[in-house]
């Protein structure tokens, strides 16, 4: 996912699903597992940050800003 593209949570969740499938493979090497795990944790963090931002926007829209 390029840094200059707008974040697409649906795409990120699909990528996480693919990473999970690859990590579940019995023939994956340790090095590949580590790379995929790292990529997955980065994507998961971005998804979490995005969802927190969406939640804040919804709170503002609903007049519940904290």
The reported pLDDT for the residue numbered 66 is 56
Buried b (16+ CB within 10 A) or exposed e, 17-50: eebeeeeeeeeeeeeeeeebeeebeebeeebeee
Encode pLDDT of 6-65 as tens digits: 889 999 999 999 999 999 999 999 999 999 999 999 999 999 999 999 999 999 999 876
The reported pLDDT for the residue numbered 64 is 76
Pinpoint the alpha helices (H) of the chain.
9-24, 30-61
The reported pLDDT for the residue numbered 6 is 84
pLDDT greater than 50 at residue 2: no
pTM for this prediction: 0.76
């Amino acid at each position: 996912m390029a840094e200059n593209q707008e974040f697409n949570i649906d795409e990120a969740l699909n990528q996480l699903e693919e990473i999970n499938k690859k990590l579940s493979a019995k023939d994956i090497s340790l090095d590949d597992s580590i790379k995929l795990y790292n990529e997955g944790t980065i994507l998961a963090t971005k998804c979490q940050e995005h969802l927190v931002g969406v939640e804040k926007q919804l709170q503002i829209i609903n007049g519940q800003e904290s």
